[in-house]
Structure 1
Amino acid sequence: MTEPLLRATHLVKEFPVLGTGGLLRRPDTFAAVDDVSFEIAAGDTLALVGESGSGKSTTARLAARLLDATSGTVELDGEDVTRLSGSALRRFRGDVQVVFQDPYSSLNPRHTVERIVTAPLLYQQRPVPGGARAFTQALMERVGLDPDHSQKYPAQFSGGQAQRIGIARALAVGPRLIVCDEAVSALDVSVQAQVINLLRDLQREEGLTYLFIAHDLAVVRQIATRVAVMTQGRIVEEGDRDAVFGDPRHEYTRTLLAAVPRIRPEWEAQRRRNAAARTGATS
């Protein structure tokens, strides 16, 4: 059996909280992520979905080592990266990149696109192939931007264009896995579709693996290979995309699906057929 590219095992992330005093005291810590385990095969997309506060973005940051886990492990290609530091951690950062929700807040407004895109290579202490200008222009063209705009600043681009700059920056170091943390949720619906299509094209052509964080199940349906549903810091359901959408087993998953206004009628029809068949089998 092929080893997964990324494996998270019993991840826990606790944050300190202030006690209330008196007889009713809060616990000293709050578990935002509580015993979460999952795997992602190379070339696949695992979508972590759930409501705001479910712990999905914290889990993403643990997987990318932007946060240190309280306990549990994260392995990349069989290597435990949980306690890496120095040059080993820098090498891991080259393998795992992140595309954030708000492109404007994640791109330095004082830097040109060229400086933004080449910054990861400088951090990795790698030479910029072909020079900074040519390298940036090639990546801009790769993500559907005008290569002649490499000397512009983030504020001179639309939200969708700025997110493409974030994707270009992630691609610069040739990552194996990209964590997309609500990467399209701040975009208009038509722009979302364009960015999703770009991510799918890049996955197919570059062999990328995605950990895709989202609350919009209509978006998840377009890109995910597998889906893991989170609530209150735990994964309550995980499976192939079509199985989770067509025959959800957990009540929370069914509630999420019922709340999606743009869900396709055929998905709902399949879900209802499966639910009816399950009810008939148990009656």
Structure 2
Amino acid sequence: MTGSRADVRPLLRARDLTKRFTTRGGGGPLGRKSVFTAVDSVSFEVFPHETLALVGESGSGKSTTARLVAKLMEATDGTIEFAGRDVTHARGTDLARFRNDVQVVFQDPFSSLNPRHTVERILTAPLVYQGLPIPGGRRAFAGELMERVGLNPDHLHRYPAQFSGGQAQRIGIARALAVGPKLVICDEAVSALDVSVQAQVMDLLLRLQRESGFSYLFIAHDLAVVRRISHRIAVMKQGVIVESGPCAEVFEHPRDPYTRTLLAAIPRIDPEWDRRRREGAAEHASTTASPEELP
């Protein structure tokens, strides 16, 4: 990301987000209680038209953070602001408005798509549930969404099980776009896909961002996956953000030992890997559109 943020208001601002879970050991109601802190005082910002990647190993707290931001679970402490509004305790119409602005694409599309509903019904459901008008009617609206994500609109009558994993994930992305969100949270959205399909879906996500100008909070455990799509990266370990910065800077000059460990875990194809990684980071910095440059 180039330029100054001094005059740019964050789209999303999380401050000191904390999530604690109380468990009871020993079995039964008399078991001893213990408290597990999954997310510990995490703060970050997502600016308009940019992609922030939240990266860490399984159990690092990144998916819990995503669910807190999407208000799929309540934070124990901390605040969430969206478009200048405090939505930490949003309820009723305020929560409904927030849910229109923030959508989630989940890791497993088959578990997040109703297997008993046709694609047409799945894609129009967000508007139906919100009581919003459907431009042009259900079939035309759903067909347009299918075309936007590279699927055949003639397949609206099919059910999720009749699609491949990559196609089903495209349907999940189309559903997220149905209400015109300002922020899309991708929670390990490509980790369950084959490598070749991952690349196709990443290309799709980049194109959709260029066309619509929304922001991404991109959750992943693999730094190699986020390198191409991200403007900035925040690295999480054991519920804490240990490092954050522009994508090229994190790849070229990682400060935290944990970040260096994640970078070292990227498969090396040949002895020239380090040189190509450096060149790729420099190319990313020069070719990736900054949030201000996106439409």
Counterpart in the other structure of 1:53: 59
State the AA in 2 paired with 1:49. Answer: V
TM-score, structure 2 as length reference:
0.88
Q: Does 1:265 align with 2:274?
A: yes
SS at match of 1:12: strand
The more displaced of 248-257 and 11-20 is 11-20
Q: Does 1:126 align with 2:132?
A: yes
CA contact (8 A) 2:51 2:231 kept: yes
Counterpart in the other structure of 2:235: 229
Quote how far apart the aligned CAs of 1:125 are: 1.1
CA contact (8 A) 2:222 2:262 kept: no
SS at match of 1:227: strand
Alignment map for 1:126-145 (pairs within 5 Å): 126-145=132-151
Counterpart in the other structure of 1:200: 206
2:86 is aligned, of 80, 88, 112, to 80
Deviation per residue, 1:166-205 (Å, 9 max, x gap): 0000000000000000000000000000000000001011
State the AA in 1 paired with 2:275. Answer: E
SS at match of 2:249: helix
2:250 is aligned, of 237, 244, 248, to 244
CA contact (8 A) 1:246 1:270 kept: no
CA contact (8 A) 1:120 1:172 kept: yes
State the AA in 2 paired with 1:177. Answer: L
Q: Does 1:159 align with 2:169?
A: no
CA contact (8 A) 1:245 1:267 kept: no
State the AA in 2 paired with 1:10. Answer: D
Quote how far apart the aligned CAs of 1:88 are: 1.1
CA contact (8 A) 1:175 1:208 kept: yes
How far apart, in 2, do the equivalents of 1:18 and 1:270 lie?
51
State the AA in 1 paired with 2:147. Answer: E
Counterpart in the other structure of 1:212: 218
Counterpart in the other structure of 2:283: none
Deviation per residue, 1:50-74 (Å, 9 max, x gap): 0000000000000110111001011
Unpaired runs of 5+ residues, structure 1, are 272-283
How far apart, in 2, do the equivalents of 1:269 and 1:81 lie?
40
How far apart, in 2, do the equivalents of 1:29 and 1:77 lie?
33
How far apart, in 2, do the equivalents of 1:42 and 1:194 lie?
24
How far apart, in 2, do the equivalents of 1:174 and 1:194 lie?
22
CA contact (8 A) 1:97 1:170 kept: yes
How far apart, in 1, do the equivalents of 2:84 and 2:40 lie?
22
TM-score, structure 1 as length reference:
0.91
Counterpart in the other structure of 1:172: 178
How far apart, in 1, do the equivalents of 2:197 and 2:236 lie?
26
How far apart, in 2, do the equivalents of 1:78 and 1:159 lie?
37
SS at match of 2:142: helix
How far apart, in 1, do the equivalents of 2:38 and 2:22 lie?
10
Structure 1 segments (4+ residues) deviating >4 Å? 267-271
Counterpart in the other structure of 1:105: 111
SS at match of 1:87: helix
How far apart, in 1, do the equivalents of 2:188 and 2:268 lie?
18
CA contact (8 A) 1:246 1:267 kept: no
State the AA in 1 paired with 2:205. Answer: L
CA contact (8 A) 1:218 1:262 kept: no
Deviation per residue, 1:141-176 (Å, 9 max, x gap): 010000000110000000000000000000000000
CA contact (8 A) 1:14 1:29 kept: yes
Change (3 A) 1:31 1:267: farther
CA contact (8 A) 2:53 2:234 kept: yes
Unpaired runs of 5+ residues, structure 2, are 1-6, 281-295
Aligned pairs, number: 268
State the AA in 2 paired with 1:15. Answer: F
How far apart, in 1, do the equivalents of 2:234 and 2:64 lie?
14
Quote how far apart the aligned CAs of 1:270 are: 6.9
RMSD over aligned Cα atoms? 1.7
Quote how far apart the aligned CAs of 1:218 are: 1.0
How far apart, in 2, do the equivalents of 1:262 and 1:185 lie?
19
